[in-house]
A and B are shown apart, each in its own frame.
Chain A
Amino acid sequence: MEYLWAFIIGGIWCVIGQLLLDGTKLTAPRVLVIFVVTGVVLQALNLYQPIVDLAGNGATVPLPGFGYNLAKGAMEGAQKGFLEAITGPIKATAAGVAVAITFGYIVSLIFTPKSPKR
Chain B
Amino acid sequence: MALQISEEKNKEKEKQKKEIGKAYGKYAKQFTPRPKYFSNSVKAFIVGGLICTAALAVQNRLQAMGLSQKDAGTFVTIGLVALAQLLTGLGIFDVIAKHAGAGVIVPITGFANSMVAPAIEYKKEGPVLGTGAKLFSVAGPVLVCGISAATVVGIIYWFIEKF
Interface size on B, residues (CB 8 A): 75
Say if the beta carbon of B141 comes within 8 Å of chain A: yes
Q: Are the C-beta atoms of A31 and B120 separated by less than 8 Å? A: no
What separation, in Å, do the CA atoms of A23 and B36 have in the docked complex? 10
Interface code B97-124, partner A: CB below 8 Å = 1, 0 otherwise?
Answer: 0000111011110111011100111010
Interface size on A, residues (CB 8 A): 78
Q: Are the C-beta atoms of B145 and A33 separated by less than 8 Å? A: yes
Q: With a CB–CB cut-off of 8 A, which chain B residues contact A6?
A: 49, 52-53, 55-56
Q: Are the C-beta atoms of B147 and A28 separated by less than 8 Å? A: no
What separation, in Å, do the CA atoms of A117 and B81 have in the docked complex? 24
Q: Are the C-beta atoms of A17 and B76 separated by less than 8 Å? A: no
Closest to A28 in B: B105
- Taking the closest CB of chain A, its distance from the CB of B105, in whole angstroms, is 6
Given A15-B102, A32-B114: A70 and B149 interface contact (C-beta under 8 Å)? yes
Say if the beta carbon of B142 comes within 8 Å of chain A: yes
* Residue among A18, A21, A43, A86 with most chain B CB within 10 A: A18
Q: With a CB–CB cut-off of 8 A, which chain B residues contact A15?
A: 41, 44-45, 48, 102
What separation, in Å, do the CA atoms of A90 and B47 have in the docked complex? 29
A-B CB pair tally, cutoff 8 Å: 261
Q: With a CB–CB cut-off of 8 A, which chain A residues contact B96?
A: none
Q: With a CB–CB cut-off of 8 A, which chain A residues contact B41?
A: 15, 18-19
Closest to B83 in A: A103
Closest to A89 in B: B150
Q: For the complex of A and B, list the 4 residue pairs with the smallest distance between their C-beta atoms, beginning with the closest.
A: A10-B52, A14-B48, A74-B154, A11-B49
Extra 19 A-B pairs, beta carbons < 8 Å, given A15-B41, A28-B110, A111-B91:
A3-B56, A6-B49, A10-B48, A11-B52, A23-B37, A29-B141, A31-B102, A44-B153, A44-B156, A57-B55, A57-B56, A62-B48, A66-B111, A70-B147, A96-B78, A105-B119, A108-B120, A113-B120, A113-B123
